[in-house]
Amino acid sequence: MFLKKLSRGFLDALYPPVCLICGQLSRGIYPHCCTDCFNSFEPPASCCELCGEPFADRQVPHLCLNCIKGRPPFTWCRGVFLYRGALTEALSRFKYKGMIALQKPLEDALARGVAALRPLPESDIVVPVPLSVHGRWKRGFNQSYILAASVAGQLGLEVEAGALKKMGSRTQVGLPARERNRNAATSFGPAWSIGRVKGQKVLLFDDVYTTGATVRACSRILRKAGATVSVLTLARAEKNGAG
């Protein structure tokens, strides 16, 4: 252990670790995520008690206008942090640029946020939002599965990754809200293990909730298969933001 610390210190002196988010020298627990960036991940001040839409300021818990107009296909939804600043950069670089050194700080931030949210709704299994075959081939991994597995471990639950599938290769990125809804409605379907969710309390997990088109489409499929669905995401876009 002493030699390992010594060699790490020697390498850091020669090649100082740089934060992959802000580009500054990284000091703290994570070699490539500085303390300032890690601590800047910000939870919503308050949100809709059903769908989790962030409110602009701290308010007494209540339903947002969208939930009053029509209930979503899930029973509860929360985004652990706001999709802004350093977290936006961290997720983008982790997902699209393969900077896997950011996996550990993202998992630890998620664990911290989940602990602050407890008690969560009772759940039996965790289902990650799937990535298409093309997406997995191009990216090499499904970030939602990786983070969902971390949450499942924290909650003592199993991950059921074969319940849903993503068809086609068109992403939600850059699409307007109406087009996101159309794309999501035709892009997801039940997969080989969908029967396992019948009668189960499912915690559906995705990395980012933006318009909600993805989690609503997946929730409808799971509910049709006989599950009760709650939703958890690492990040939640503020209204009129950019899932």
What is the number of H-type helices and E-type strands within the chain? 9, 7
- Which stretches does DSSP call E strand in the chain? 76-82, 125-128, 158-159, 164-166, 188-190, 201-209, 228-236
Number of folded domains that form the chain: 2
Instruction: Report if residue 139 sits inside a domain.
Output: yes
Q: For residues 1 and 111, state if they share a domain.
A: no
Q: CA 86 to CA 42: how far, in whole Å? A: 10
Q: Which two tokens stand for residue 51?
A: 């769908």
Residue 102 belongs to domain with CATH number: 3.40.50
Q: For residues 117 and 228, state if they share a domain.
A: yes
CB of 207 closer than 8 Å to CB of 89: no
Q: For residues 11 and 69, state if they share a domain.
A: no
Instruction: Report if residue 193 sits inside a domain.
Output: yes
Q: CA 62 to CA 52: how far, in whole Å? A: 10
Please name the residue that has the structure tokens 């818990």. 61
Please name the residue that has the structure tokens 């950019």. 242
Confidence at residue 177, expressed as pLDDT on a 0 to 100 scale: 60
Q: For residues 13 and 98, state if they share a domain.
A: no
**Adjacent-strand bridge partners of 165:** 189
Q: CA 231 to CA 51: how far, in whole Å? A: 9
**Adjacent-strand bridge partners of 18:** 25
Q: For residues 84 and 4, state if they share a domain.
A: no
pLDDT digits (tens, 9 = 90+) for 159-211: 999 999 998 755 655 555 666 556 677 789 999 999 999 999 999 999 999 99
Q: Which domain holds residue 17?
A: 1-39
Q: For residues 20 and 100, state if they share a domain.
A: no
Instruction: Report if residue 130 sits inside a domain.
Output: yes
Q: For residues 73 and 24, state if they share a domain.
A: no
- pTM for the model: 0.88
Please identify every stretch of the chain with a pLDDT value under 70, giving residue numbers as ranges: 1-15, 169-183, 240-243
Q: CA 156 to CA 211: how far, in whole Å? A: 30
DSSP states along 129-187:
PP--HHHHHHHSS-HHHHHHHHHHHHHT-EE-TTSEEE-SS--STT--HHHHHHHHHHH
Q: For residues 203 and 224, state if they share a domain.
A: yes
Instruction: Report if residue 171 sits inside a domain.
Output: yes
